Amino acid sequence: RARQAYESLQSKYSAGDKSAAFLDVLGGVQVLLNYELEQLRARRDLMAGAARLERIMGGPWRPEQSEPEQKTVPADDEDTPLPTE
Protein backbone atom coordinates (compact mmCIF):
# COMPACT_ATOMS: atom_id res chain seq x y z
CA ARG A 1 0.00 0.00 0.00
CA ALA A 2 2.87 2.35 0.79
CA ARG A 3 4.29 1.77 -2.69
CA GLN A 4 0.89 2.37 -4.29
CA ALA A 5 0.41 5.59 -2.34
CA TYR A 6 3.86 6.81 -3.33
CA GLU A 7 3.35 5.94 -7.00
CA SER A 8 -0.02 7.68 -6.99
CA LEU A 9 1.49 10.83 -5.47
CA GLN A 10 4.38 10.73 -7.91
CA SER A 11 2.04 10.37 -10.88
CA LYS A 12 -0.11 13.27 -9.72
CA TYR A 13 2.95 15.45 -9.13
CA SER A 14 4.42 14.56 -12.53
CA ALA A 15 1.12 15.38 -14.21
CA GLY A 16 1.09 18.79 -12.57
CA ASP A 17 -1.83 18.03 -10.27
CA LYS A 18 -2.00 20.76 -7.62
CA SER A 19 -3.26 18.27 -5.00
CA ALA A 20 0.18 16.58 -4.86
CA ALA A 21 2.90 18.87 -3.56
CA PHE A 22 6.59 18.05 -3.73
CA LEU A 23 6.69 17.64 0.06
CA ASP A 24 3.88 15.08 -0.19
CA VAL A 25 5.94 13.06 -2.66
CA LEU A 26 8.96 13.24 -0.35
CA GLY A 27 6.77 12.14 2.56
CA GLY A 28 5.58 9.18 0.48
CA VAL A 29 9.18 8.21 -0.26
CA GLN A 30 10.01 8.41 3.44
CA VAL A 31 7.06 6.20 4.42
CA LEU A 32 7.97 3.68 1.72
CA LEU A 33 11.64 3.56 2.75
CA ASN A 34 10.72 3.20 6.44
CA TYR A 35 8.41 0.31 5.58
CA GLU A 36 11.12 -1.42 3.54
CA LEU A 37 13.62 -0.86 6.35
CA GLU A 38 11.25 -2.50 8.84
CA GLN A 39 10.86 -5.47 6.49
CA LEU A 40 14.63 -5.86 6.31
CA ARG A 41 14.95 -5.61 10.09
CA ALA A 42 12.29 -8.29 10.52
CA ARG A 43 14.13 -10.56 8.06
CA ARG A 44 17.40 -9.93 9.93
CA ASP A 45 15.77 -10.81 13.24
CA LEU A 46 14.31 -13.98 11.75
CA MET A 47 17.67 -15.08 10.38
CA ALA A 48 19.43 -14.25 13.66
CA GLY A 49 16.85 -16.32 15.52
CA ALA A 50 17.31 -19.24 13.13
CA ALA A 51 21.09 -19.04 13.55
CA ARG A 52 20.71 -18.99 17.34
CA LEU A 53 18.40 -22.00 17.18
CA GLU A 54 20.92 -23.91 15.08
CA ARG A 55 23.68 -23.00 17.51
CA ILE A 56 21.59 -24.25 20.44
CA MET A 57 20.67 -27.45 18.57
CA GLY A 58 24.30 -28.06 17.64
CA GLY A 59 23.67 -28.33 13.93
CA PRO A 60 21.49 -27.27 11.03
CA TRP A 61 17.75 -27.10 11.51
CA ARG A 62 15.65 -29.15 9.14
CA PRO A 63 11.86 -28.67 8.82
CA GLU A 64 11.18 -32.41 9.13
CA GLN A 65 12.71 -32.31 12.62
CA SER A 66 10.36 -29.56 13.78
CA GLU A 67 7.17 -31.62 13.73
CA PRO A 68 6.78 -33.90 16.75
CA GLU A 69 5.38 -37.35 16.21
CA GLN A 70 1.66 -37.42 16.72
CA LYS A 71 0.02 -40.38 18.36
CA THR A 72 -3.50 -41.25 17.42
CA VAL A 73 -6.03 -41.49 20.20
CA PRO A 74 -9.24 -43.40 19.59
CA ALA A 75 -12.18 -41.00 19.77
CA ASP A 76 -15.05 -43.44 20.38
CA ASP A 77 -13.65 -46.25 22.52
CA GLU A 78 -11.80 -45.16 25.67
CA ASP A 79 -10.87 -48.75 26.63
CA THR A 80 -8.69 -49.30 23.56
CA PRO A 81 -5.04 -49.25 24.66
CA LEU A 82 -2.60 -46.90 22.94
CA PRO A 83 0.23 -48.50 20.98
CA THR A 84 3.48 -48.63 22.93
CA GLU A 85 6.87 -47.97 21.50
CA Rg value for the chain = 26
> What pLDDT is recorded for position 13?
83
Residues 6+ apart with CB under 8 A from 51: none
pTM: 0.55
**Which amino acid type is present at position 20?**
A
Each residue's pLDDT tens digit, 28-62: 899 999 999 999 999 999 999 999 999 998 888 67
More confident: 62 or 77: 62
> What pLDDT is recorded for position 85?
47
